Amino acid sequence: MDKCLKELIEISNNVGSDLTLIQGGGGNTSVKTGDGKYMYIKASGTALKDMTQEKGWRKIDIERTISILDDKMLSTLDSDSREAEVVHRLNISCVDGLKNAGRPSVEAHLHAMLNKYVIHLHPNMVGAYVSAKNGLPMLQKLFANEKKHFLWIEYADPGLTLARKVSALISEYVDKYGTKPEILFLEKHGIFISTASYDAALKLVDKVKKICGRKLKQTPKVKIKAIDNEIINSAKSAIRKAYFNATGQYVMVSHFVDRQISSFMQRKDAGKLLAYEALSPDEIVYTNGPALWIEKTDSKYIEAKLTKQIAKESKPSLAFLVKGLGLFVVGNYSLLNTTKDIVKSSLFIRVCAASMGGINPLNTRQRNFIKNWESESFRKSILSGGAGNQLQNRNAIVTGAGSGLGRGLAIGLARAGANVALADIDENAAKETAAMIKAQLPTISTMVVPCDVTNADSVSSGFDKLMINWGGLDILVNAAGVAPAFSLTDLPVNKWRFALEVNLTGYFLMAQKAAQIMIKQGMGGSIINLSSKSGIDPSKNNTPYNATKSGELHMARGWAMELGQHNIRVNSVCPGNVFEGSKIWNPEYIKVCAKKYGIKPEEVIPYYVSKTMLGKEIKGQDIADTVVFLVSDKARMITAQTIVVDAGQAMVR
């Protein structure tokens, strides 16, 4: 590995692991080659701590990069066209030959004109000064005894405008001091550290952090009161319902509370401090502005606040600071922690800036530029995984998710964008399913829920875990099932009762708890009972399966009649014979079927396939596609129905 690239990765991982230096994974780094011709720089959308030899960086031509600043034609373009053209030119300045490696940081121009090692960060302690009305004179006092002067950059729109402004200021600095600046404070933004040596760069970051932190008040020690989960879950439901009613969007809701959040909530001026607009571009892009101060957890009260924001053509808040309870964050699973980190940073900065002559937020024009800036939208889409599927951000729970159809349905829902709770009595099997989803869909949230569906306490505990983690439920798929195959005369009564417990009691307990949550949420929902073609057309030597699968259909119809008034839809899916990954179609069961039809075990699957009209083997994905359709808005007027997916065997009349 090139030495410069190695140093870039080490520097990036070092500063990126310190949450006090970054906001939500932001920041940029670069290292120039010894001949000064090229520069390794962080790729946009990559967290500093995640950079490796394989990903997260680009190598660009410095001369080409700086030449972009001198092109007067760019000034004749409107801001959107100009920034798009700049991004294009930065891409063609790359000389690494990498494909699908991401684009270089949009701040590459700034890096190119500075010293060999450049670190751009958004430290909390720096944010306090660059977001305060008297921040500059305060910094001048703090750094008065330092040998080298820092460079203060008054706010400019990110991208080409900022780069050109900094270029002019650096030229003035060099003329005055005979060297390039090592510390650049950017108003309403952050800091650039620029040095000629590797060790000096990291040491200077640490030094600036200590100097800036000297005069800042530390978070006072406060006692964090324990709050009952039921109260937290009720607040989550209120926020989720309010957000859904105001925007039509499904969101996950996470709750956070710590010493800093508790301390801020106890301030008499908490609401006043949060009334100031966004302090930085990151606060606009990732949290849609400051956290919304909430006095009471009433969904209509919260909805009114969100509706008011939208009426002003602002995006609705993604963070809610609820008095006495803590911080609630909504949005995509992959961005929840990023949002939380940026909100906490903002709380700290607001308190500190308020004591330095007052808070100096972004003005209306500056906020509008950031809202429309393609580069920030791109960075957010990278971190969120670019998800945009029909079940995006809906929360689902699937029973029997550790194997067979349950596993296939869980994966299918995840592919459609849903977050999936994997309920199974076999915890290790459910973990395997979670690993499979993670490998395919890293931005999708999964949760393993050890659950015995025949036990009411176990079921209740599983749903409690889901609510604590995600704050709501939209979809239940009952898929756990058993099929003890015996003739009527040979059927042991304990096998009969076992089938009744799993296939009927299990479906009932799960649906009962899910319905209670969905009714309380007031957002509708969807319940699917996975039955079988045997629920319509009975099969030989299958008394427990015939009875329970038929019963599941009738339970679903009755539930649909009860729950329709709450906009909760209940439907059933009757698969044909799905052999792929099935625990039911095990070697012993296949032997029973072979004996029943007088054929060899290896002939059983081809025999069943031959009985279908299409003559095709049914796969788990075929069933998953049907379930995804039924729980989606495309099926919004379908309830109390039975869909048979069997390649043409049973007919529903």
Catalytic residue numbers read 545
- The answer to whether 247 and 302 are in contact (CB under 8 A) is no
| Burial call 134-160: b when 16+ CB within 10 Å, e when fewer | ebbebbeebbeeeeeebbbbebbbbbb
Question: Tokens 């190695």, residue?
Answer: 6
Cα three-residue angle 379-311-370, rounded to 5 degrees: 25
d(Cα 400, Cα 424) in Å, to the nearest integer? 5
d(Cα 433, Cα 443) in Å, to the nearest integer? 15
- The answer to whether 397 and 477 are in contact (CB under 8 A) is yes
Question: Tokens 């030094």, residue?
Answer: 207
Lookup: tokens for 147: 């040998």
CA 212 vs CA 29, 122, 168, 202, 355: distances in Å = 21, 13, 26, 16, 14
Burial class (CB in 10 A: 0-12, 13-18, 19+), 163: buried
CB atoms within 10 A of CB 594: 16
Lookup: tokens for 611: 């009985």
- The answer to whether 118 and 202 are in contact (CB under 8 A) is no
Cβ neighbours for 446, distance < 8 A, ≥ 6 positions apart: 410, 414, 419, 420, 421, 422, 433, 434, 437, 438
Parallel, antiparallel, or unpaired: how do β-strands 642-645 and 568-575 relate?
parallel
Cα–chain center distance at 287: 13
Cα–chain center distance at 298: 25
Lookup: tokens for 220: 């006072």
Sheet with 252-256: strands ordered across? 252-256, 326-331, 319-322, 292-294
DSSP 8-class letter at 107: T
Parallel, antiparallel, or unpaired: how do β-strands 446-450 and 475-478 relate?
unpaired
Q: Which of 359, 286, 350, 345 is closest to 318 using CA atoms?
A: 286
Cα–chain center distance at 233: 19
Question: Tokens 């159809």, residue?
Answer: 405
CA 541 vs CA 500, 538, 546: distances in Å = 16, 9, 9
Cα three-residue angle 417-44-100, rounded to 5 degrees: 70
Lookup: tokens for 573: 């899916």
- The answer to whether 27 and 21 are in contact (CB under 8 A) is yes
